[in-house]
Chain A
Amino acid sequence: QLQLQESGPGLVKPLETLSLTCSVSGGSISCDSCYWGWIRQPPGKGLEWIGSISYSGRTPYNPSLKSRVTISLDTSKNQFSLKLSPVTAADTAVYYCAGIVDYEQKTFDYWGQGTLVTVSS
C-alpha cells in the first residue's frame, strides 16, 4: 500500500519560493504506469490541480501556474518535489501530493495528508 507524506516550510514570504517534497513509501516512484502530482486547496475552497510528473519525465502543468511551477523526481530518495516561485498571498493553501499508479484507467488514488503553506511576511 503506497503512502505519501509531504514536507516543507509552513510559512513562506511573499515573492519567495515555495518548496515542498513528497516522500513515497510502500512502492517505487520509478514506475512506468505512474504519475505523481500536486493539488492544492485554499482555506475553505475547492481543489486545484497544480501539475504532475511521470517517471519518463513528462511534466504537464496547469497553465494558470505554469510560469511559476517546477515539479521534479528524485528516484534515489523515492521522492518528488514542487517549487512555486514567486509566491503571493493567493498561494496560501493546503498542498497535497498524490499518486496515480495506473494512469490508463485511474486518476489520483493515493494522497498525502496535506500540508498547510501560508504566504505572509
Chain B
Amino acid sequence: DIQMTQSPSTLSASVGDRVTISCRASQSIITWLAWYQQKPGKAPKPLIYKASNLESGVPSRFSGGGSATEFTLIISSLQPDDSATYYCQQYISYPYTFGQGTKLEIK
C-alpha cells in the first residue's frame, strides 16, 4: 500500500495568512493526488484533483502543487470559512489511501 503522510497534523493561523499543508507519498504517485476539505459532521468536499486542478466552484485562493512524492495545498489568504480538516488522497493504485488529515484552526 502507498502510505500518505501529511504535515503538520494541526495548524493555527490568522485570517489573511498564507497557509501551506504538505502531503508526502511513500512512492511516486506522479500527480494522481486529490485534496479534500472536511468540516465537522459533513462529508469531505473535493478541492483539487490531479495535484493542481481546482474543482469547479472552489475559491481561487486554494491551489495545489507537486509531483512524484511531495505535494502541497496552499491557501493564499486564509478566510474564517476555511477552518476544517484537510485530507490528501492518492489514486494511482489500489488500495486508495488517504493522509491522516491536517486540522486547520483560525486564531
Contacts and interface: CB of A to CB of B under 8 A. Distances in A.
Interface in A63-121: 63-64, 96, 105-109, 111-114
A114 B41 CA distance: 9
Contacts of B45: 111
Nearest to B4: A46
A71 B31 CA distance: 28
Interface of B: 1, 34, 42-46, 49-50, 53, 55, 87, 89, 91, 94-101
8 contacts: A46-B87, A46-B99, A47-B87, A48-B98, A62-B94, A63-B1, A105-B49, A111-B45
Given A60-B94, A105-B50, A107-B46, 16 more contacts: A46-B87, A46-B101, A47-B44, A49-B97, A61-B95, A62-B94, A62-B95, A63-B95, A106-B49, A107-B34, A107-B89, A108-B89, A111-B45, A113-B42, A113-B43, A114-B42
